[in-house]
Amino acid sequence: MADLTMSDSSSATEDSLFDRSFRTRWRVGFDRVVGWLLPLLFLVAILPILDLVGYISYRALPTLSFQVLTSTSLTRTDTLGVPILSTAEIMAFSTVLAVAFGLLGGVATAEFLSERAAGWVRMSANLLVGLPSVTLGYFGYFTFVLYFGWGLSFVAAVFTLAFFMTPYIFRTADLAFTSVPRHIREAAVGSGAAPHQYILRVATPIAFPQVLNGIFLAMAIGIGETAPIVLTTTLSTTLPSTLYSPVSFLTALIWENYAQSTATPAGRALVDLAFQAAFLLIVVVIALNVVVRVISHRFEKRLEGLYQ
């Protein structure tokens, strides 16, 4: 066998661990520098967020008071009582609809569809999630406002927002039920369980935390959406009284007022209101995310025993 030896490197350098060659020092030094620089990039992400939360709090908190939050007086334009209630109302209805469609759809996909069909459906859901919000808002405008003839109204907004939230709930429900361990599923079948019995009694308790999380996350996303609301309804300062009345929504409020001229006191008040709405939205979104994490944590321990 040919013995190919390397051309005349001194074996002393070869064997020495204290290599001082330039190239090696460069390599090691570069790695060390990168090791400091790359983590610093996190500042690029963290500083803006801190600045955003900080600035919004700074603009919102000074004028924020209990009265501002709860007053539903029609004579004042600087209270959030109506927008908050209206937002809650829309969210409630939209969530119910989205859960109805999304949960049923997700469970049906996880349990009854063939893998091929499920693949298509899951891809559809993923595509829906990636769509621009204006596309869904515009669709809502055409379908509910024009085609169904509901006009710019409460119902149109509710349905459009529900459309928007459904794919999120669908995906997590699908994942939750598909993740039920196989041996549990087989144990249920082996004991003679019918599909509805299996789903209701066995799979649901296991999938429940994940589904609940999915719902909260969909709500966090839904409450932050602007286009589905603005494009399907007119905005007012009163609570929606009928199905077809105009509504108020926190994000829409920000959209309406963010660029108001600050030359007049009225204008300034409106901009402050927008900041307060923004502050509330941040609080709600963070709160929902915390709730999701808490649920994940608590149920993680309970379900540990299943995954033998």
Partner 1 sequence: MNTVNSTPAPVPAGEGKVVPSPPSPPSETSRPVPAPRLRRLGRVLTIIPALVPTAFLVAIVLALFALSGFAVNISWSPFQVGVRWPENFGWGFFGSDWDPLAAPPGQPHWGVMVFIVGSFLTAVPALFLSMAIGLGLAIASTTYLPRSVTRWLDSFVDLLAGIPSVVYGIWAFVLIAPIFGGTLNPWLADHVGFIPGFGPPPGLAGGTGLPVTIFVLTLMSLPITTLLIRDSLRAIPTDLWESGLALGATRWEAVRRISLRHGSRGIVSAAFLGFGRAFGETVAVAMVLGVNAAYPINFYSSTGTIAATIFGLLDSAYGNSHFLAALSEMAIVLLAISLVVNLVGRRFISSIIAYEVPGI
Partner 2 sequence: MNGAGPANGGAVMSVQHLGVWAGEHHILDDVTLDFAPHSLTAVVGPSGCGKTTFIRSLNRMVEVTPGLVVNGSVLYLGQNIYDRRVNPVHVRRRIGMVFQRPTVFPMTVFENAAFGLRLIHTDEEEIDRQVTGALIRAGLWDEVKDRLDRSALSLSGGQQQRLCIARALAVRPKVILLDEPTSALDPVATQRLEATMQRLKEDFVLILVTHNVGQAARVSDRIAFLHAGRLVEVGPTEEMLERPKDPLTAQFITGRSEQ
Interface positions with partner 2 (CB under 8 A)? 1-4, 6-7, 14-19, 23-24, 27-28
* Cα gap 84→237, rounded to integer Å: 11
Q: Among 60, 56, 85, 61, which residue's Cα sits nearest to residue 71?
A: 85
* Cα gap 123→228, rounded to integer Å: 22
Contact positions with partner 1 (CB under 8 A) in 216-245:
217, 220-221, 223-227, 230-231
Task: For the chain, count helices (H), then strands (E).
Answer: 14, 0
For partner 1, give the closer residue by CB, 93 or 138.
Answer: 138
- Of these partners, partner 1, partner 2, none, which one is at the site of residue 283 (CB under 5 to 8 Å by kind)? none
Those residues whose C-beta lies under 8 Å from the C-beta of residue 246, and which sit 6 or more positions away, are: 152, 153, 154, 233, 234, 235, 236, 238, 240
* Cα gap 293→287, rounded to integer Å: 10
* Residue that has been written with the tokens 């926190």 in this structure: 250
Q: Is 269 in the site for partner 1 (CB under 8 A)?
A: no
Q: What's the min distance (Å) between Cβ of 228 and partner 1? A: 10
- Of these partners, partner 1, partner 2, none, which one is at the site of residue 17 (CB under 5 to 8 Å by kind)? partner 2
Q: Is 172 in the site for partner 1 (CB under 8 A)?
A: yes
- Of these partners, partner 2, partner 1, none, which one is at the site of residue 156 (CB under 5 to 8 Å by kind)? none
Q: Among 63, 77, 15, which residue's Cα sits nearest to residue 270?
A: 77
- Of these partners, partner 1, partner 2, none, which one is at the site of residue 3 (CB under 5 to 8 Å by kind)? partner 2
Those residues whose C-beta lies under 8 Å from the C-beta of residue 199, and which sit 6 or more positions away, are: 107, 111, 177
Interface with partner 1 (CB under 8 A), residue from 83, 94, 141, 246:
141
Q: What's the min distance (Å) between Cβ of 271 and partner 1? A: 8
Q: Is 65 in the site for partner 1 (CB under 8 A)?
A: no
Q: Among 166, 198, 193, 161, which residue's Cα sits nearest to residue 86?
A: 161
- Of these partners, partner 2, partner 1, none, which one is at the site of residue 1 (CB under 5 to 8 Å by kind)? partner 2
- Return the structure tokens found at 20: 């001082």
Q: Is 113 in the site for partner 1 (CB under 8 A)?
A: yes
Q: Is 213 in the site for partner 1 (CB under 8 A)?
A: yes
Residues that contact partner 1, how many (by CB under 8 A): 114
Of the candidate spans 8-16, 68-76, 83-91, 172-180, the one that interacts with partner 1 by CB under 8 A turns out to be 172-180
Interface with partner 1 (CB under 8 A), residue from 61, 74, 117, 243:
117
Contact positions with partner 1 (CB under 8 A) in 151-170:
163, 166-168, 170
**Reduced 3-state DSSP string for 182-193:** HHHHHHHHHCCC
- Of these partners, partner 2, partner 1, none, which one is at the site of residue 16 (CB under 5 to 8 Å by kind)? partner 2
Integer CA distances (angstroms), 55 to 47, 49, 66, 253, 289, in order: 12, 10, 21, 18, 21
Of the candidate spans 8-16, 64-72, 77-85, 189-197, the one that interacts with partner 1 by CB under 8 A turns out to be 189-197
